[in-house]
Amino acid sequence: MNKYLMVILVALGLASCTTKDEHYYQTHPKALEKALKACPGQQPKGLSCQQMAKVASQMNTLAYQLQGNPQGFGGKILRLQETIAKQQDELKQDHTNTELKENIERNKEKLEQLLAVVKWLESPGG
């Protein structure tokens, strides 16, 4: 029991020390808001306040898209999910295609960002 608790505590400690990069803030809008409010007095590790402001601008654009046309935004998510599924099927046929692997990763990151915006704005208490 104590071994499991220790492993969990170490994992949490490592996660809390992880540098928060652009992708982290794109998928954690509340953390982005908090970090921006602290700028420039408390400079976050990994990104400058100017870089974070750019990420916030991108996130706000997505938020306006979601609020302006929820169905269209949902359609965008569904199309991206379909694209990823097709790409993964293609990758099964050609395991060595590094360009396809990179495209899948980029699309997964974009999907994660879109879903984070939905969670941020549409979840109760969000």
Is the pLDDT reported for residue 7 higher than 80? no
The DSSP H or E segment spanning 82 is helix 70-93
The DSSP H or E segment spanning 5 is helix 2-17
Is the pLDDT reported for residue 114 higher than 50? yes
How would you classify residue 48: left for phi > 0, otherwise alpha for psi between -120 and 50, otherwise beta? beta
126 vs 121: CA distance, rounded Å:
5
Q: What is the pTM of this model?
A: 0.76
How many other C-beta atoms can be found within 10 angstroms of the C-beta atom of residue 93? 8
| Contact by Cβ (8 Å): 77, 62 | no
How does pLDDT run across 43-81, given as a tens digit for each residue?
Answer: 777 788 899 899 999 999 999 999 999 999 999 999 999
Mean pLDDT of 106-116: 96
How does pLDDT run across 78-101, given as a tens digit for each residue?
Answer: 999 999 999 999 999 998 999 999
